[in-house]
Homo-oligomer: A and B are copies of this chain.
Amino acid sequence: MNTNPTRDLILDSAQALAQTRGFNGFSYADIAAEIGIRKASIHHHFPTKHDLESELLERYRSGFVAQLESIESGAKGSVERLQRYAQLYTNTLSNHCICLAGMMASDVGALPEQLKPSLEAFFSEHMAWLTKVMAEGKSAGELNFSGSAQSQASVFLAGLQGGLLMANAMGDEAVFKKLKQTLVAQLK
C-alpha cells in the first residue's frame, strides 16, 4: 500500500485540523507549519485540496470498516459490540473534535460533488453494521426494543453524532460519556 511517511503526516495533520475547525477552516500553510515542511511540498503529494479531502475521507471510512470488522470478530455479545462501537467515537473526542464524516455532512453545501458518494457510503456502512447488531441482539434476547432494528440503529448513530456536537458546544466531554451510557442502557 501507500505508506509514504510524509504523506501520512500530512493526512494526520489535515485530519486533526479538519475535525476541529472544519474543511474551510484550515489551509496548506497550517499543515506546513505543523509538520515542518513547505506548502509546495504538500502540493506534491496532494495537488489540490480536493485531492486531500477526498483521500482523507476515504482513509477515514476504510479505517472504520476495519474497526467494525475487528469488533465483530472480537466481541461476541451485542451489548459489548455497541459499547465498543461507541468507544470509537470517544477515542476521537479528546480535543474538541467531531467525527470527520459528521463534519463533512455539516458542510455538505460546500462539499465537492465527487465526495458525496464516499460520505453517503460512510453512513450507509455504519447503519448496515448497527442494524445487523441490533437485529441479532434482539433475536438472541440480549437487546430489548420496540420498532425496527434499523430505527434503533439510526437512533444510536444519530445520538452519537449529535452527542459529539453537544459535548463540543458545552465544552464538556462528560456529556458525551453519559449519553453513550444512556443509549446502550435503554436497549437492555
Contact = CB atoms under 8 A, between A and B. Distances in A.
A106 B108 contact: no
Given A154-B182, A160-B162, A185-B147, A109 B123 contact: no
Interface string A157-179: 11111110110111100010011
A122 B169 contact: yes
- Copies of this chain, complex-wide, total 2
A147 B186 contact: yes
B171 A155 contact: no
A24 interface: yes
A101 interface: yes
A170 to B, nearest CB: 6
A152 to B, nearest CB: 8
A178 B158 contact: no
